[in-house]
Amino acid sequence: MHPPELSDYTALFARYGKLSDIYMGPDDERFRLLFEQVCHLLSQPSPFNLSLPDGFVRTARQYLANDSRTVSHMRNPENRHFMLSDLFDYVELMQRIHARRHP
């Protein structure tokens, strides 16, 4: 398995459709699997992950390590949705920048 890259995140998010307003959606469990998948990608060492804001990687690693505060916080679907929305927006921005630099 290769280290996660921008394309891995865009492919994963593409499976779930438009996510830019996920934080405004219902507080249900529809995106729990996406959150788990994102955490696994974020927890792997890679140059792309190093370029991400530290909060994404730190939260994912703490969540997967069963850190009680992080798990308790992320048990709330609204908090998971907010993190996914922020990461989606960041990945989308990085994708646009990459496309402009490498047409």
Give the number of other Cβ atoms within 10 Å of residue 13's Cβ: 22
Residue 22 counted as domain residue: yes
pTM of the prediction? 0.88
Which residue range is the domain that position 48 belongs to? Answer: 6-101
Residue-level pLDDT at 16: 82
Overall domain count for the chain: 1
Provide mean pLDDT across the span 92-99.
Answer: 92
Residue 59 counted as domain residue: yes
Residue-level pLDDT at 98: 87
Residue 64 counted as domain residue: yes
* Residue 90 identity: Y
pLDDT (tens digit per residue) in 28-76: 667 889 999 999 999 999 999 999 999 999 999 999 999 999 999 999 9
Residue 1 counted as domain residue: no
Residue-level pLDDT at 42: 99
Residue 19 counted as domain residue: yes
